[in-house]
Structure 1
């Protein structure tokens, strides 16, 4: 958790009066929606303004913040520094999580099935179509895999989850990289079932026997979805967990260089989850409405300083203190229309009693 002593703050920031109640509009990642909604509920109950967040998908969130129609956008795919500079935006991570292959395979318990990245790529590209395919059987000699078609369920709209999933498959499968590559959207095989939103992925998998999909870890936990073990870069078959996501983060340059553009997929480490991802907040660097922008930064300040416990409660992983300090530095670059740096209050105890 960030502490006041960990930051150098001009006196003016500490003396700035708290902004009065105002609705703050956010839009984007459906994967991270439970986190932002949890933060928003707690913040409002402790005297903060109302936060209205629309789980519209990462592509929609980026589009709306570019259009300046919301106070913040949310995406599970980091924008490049070049695009941020062009669009006059700032970006910072809010938490980390992971993408998980989930299954509905009658007779097979959660974490019993083992998959490699190469086999996963072959399933989602349509090259492997039945559960007892030789490639899957070879990885699972002790399982009685059914001679049933694999019902593949994928995201239809632009999604940061898809971006991270396809980035990973591009790293582990040359065939996938050549045919599909990575992106917020993928031109899926027409025989695959396409649905919108993480919630719909979860419900469709539950009601579709012999299905497989990919979804964010918090939905796996909360919806009690069965998942497959995945082989990581070190050759270990592991389950998704907070420890596994943290291991991938530790083996990246996020901590040392604050290089948030770096993907957290396919990182080394015996305990690293192969499809770890960050989720990000994107804001205008030059405020259209100083009061609204100030209120938004106060909200995220509170979230980092007082909201750590809520991160774990919705199955995300909090950012290390050193990263949070770097995020505050990025937030202090926001200005008004004249280019003057905004003065915003960091005395979050005025908003939070618990």
Structure 2
């Protein structure tokens, strides 16, 4: 899938798939100050999370077919995206984790715009296993803490009665970069395991007790594919693209659920009230109620300053976001993401319309 996407956008999106002239987001922004481009094209520079990269690549390419807007997006990890947008070296950042109070102190008013919902899967490499592995939160915390060292450990066997589990060593694989996917995964482990919360905790980067590291969702996917016995956490699109097996996780209702678009969307059924309590959208979606809900669900954010100097770029970005949340929803499902439900999409578009631009601080509005 990714090769096809990259081939389609190699010219339009520059280095989003590793091509272009090799310039960093900061260098690209310096080249494109003022929003200009060949033939009146507006160029937007963004950087951040790898979690949404497949859908962002698709959105940016499809939008560019009908609009004079091209996007250079580099998936450098959520931590890098937050840093770049805070420093003003990109037009927008992207993160799967909301900015912390400490980070917001350096970038007051940074607007968090959810774009799609996704599932963080537990992907594993056990070639002789013929049925999906079942895991719960405590067992998963035991695996990534190093306390569970063999796949036939009693804690895993109890969740998989009648299954011939191999005596293979468990090889946990984690992210090495500052990662929103890591934040989501460790936030879940902290919610279901008091021991994990106390000893490791949640964050975009944590001190992993054990395991191998990989950069980006791509790096973790590659490590899991190469090593029998390996297990890692990756966004659903990467697990499906990589042909990885994914565990069924026990949710808060006690049901074992596979990561699917439908199970991700099920988590959204309870978001109406939460949005009212968190109008800035900085809230956790892990371990939400519902028998059909996949428990490691999250949305991913675009991070946009509350005021943009260049109205041309600001309006181009607003048009792209509006199209993505409306017309782009069908592409999201194709690539294993759940579109935002109406109860979320409406407030997100209202938040977008309140961003201002130019010397007169004009609101972007709904146009």
Same fold (TM over 0.5): yes
Alpha-carbon distance change, 103 to 229 in structure 1, aligned in 2, over 3 angstroms: same
Is 1:47–2:47 an aligned residue pair? no
Give the match's secondary structure for 1:282: strand
Give the match's secondary structure for 1:152: strand
More deviation in 330-339 or 53-62?
330-339
Is the CA contact (8 Å cut-off) linking 2:309 and 2:359 kept in structure 1? no
How far residue 200 of structure 1 moved from its aligned partner, in angstroms, is 1.4
Contact 2:77 2:179 in 1 (8 A): yes
2:323 counterpart of 1:302: yes
When residues 63 and 82 of structure 1 are mapped into structure 2, their CA distance, relative to the original with a 3 A threshold, is: closer
CA distance in 1, matches of 2:299, 2:203: 15
* CA distance in 1: counterparts of 2:360 and 2:87, whole angstroms: 20
Residue in 1 aligned with 2:222?
203
Q: 2:130 aligns with which of 101, 104, 109?
A: 109
Q: Contact (CA 8 Å) 2:357, 2:364: kept in 1 or not?
A: no
CA contact (8 A) 1:75 1:280 kept: yes
Q: Are positions 1:283 and 2:304 aligned together?
A: yes
Query: Aligned-pair distance for 1:240?
Result: 1.0
User: How far 1:94 moved relative to its partner?
Assistant: 0.1
Matches within 5 A, 1:185-224: 185-189=205-209, 191-224=210-243
- TM-score (structure 1 length as normaliser): 0.87
TM-score (norm 2): 0.84
CA spacing shift, 1:110–1:74, aligned 2, 3 Å: farther
Number of residue equivalences: 326
Query: Would you say the 8 A contact 1:294–1:342 is kept in 2?
Result: no
Q: What is the deviation of 1:343?
A: 4.4
Which of residues 337, 348, 353 is equivalent to 1:327? 348
Q: State the alpha-carbon separation in 2 of the partners of residues 23 and 128 from structure 1.
A: 49
Does the residue aligned with 1:251 lie in a helix, a strand or coil?
helix
Contact 1:100 1:240 in 2 (8 A): yes
Q: CA deviation at 1:256?
A: 4.8
Query: In the alignment, does 2:82 pair up with 1:62?
Result: yes
Q: Give yes or no for contact 2:307–2:357 (8 Å, CA) kept in 1.
A: yes
1:6 is matched with which residue?
none
State the partner residue of 1:11. Answer: none
Q: Is the 8 A contact 1:104 1:206 kept in 2?
A: yes
Deviations 1:24-59 (A, max 9, x none): 111111010111110000011123311111011000
Question: 1:28 pairs with 48, 51, 57, which one?
Answer: 48
Equivalent in the alignment of 1:15: none
- CA-based RMSD of the aligned residues comes to 1.9
Runs of 4+ in 1 over 4 A off after TM superposition: 80-86, 254-259
Unaligned runs of 5+ in 2: 1-38
- Does the CA contact (< 8 Å) of 1:286 and 1:339 recur in 2? no
Corresponding position of 1:341: 362
Q: Give the number of the structure with larger relative contact order, counting CA–CA contacts within 8 Å between residues 6 or more apart.
A: 1
The residue that corresponds to 2:165 in the other structure is 145
Distance 2:357 2:67 in 1: 25
C-alpha distance in 1 between matches for 2:350 and 2:238:
32
1:163 and 2:189 aligned: no
Tell me how far apart the structure 2 counterparts of residues 292 and 81 of structure 1 sit (CA, whole Å): 28
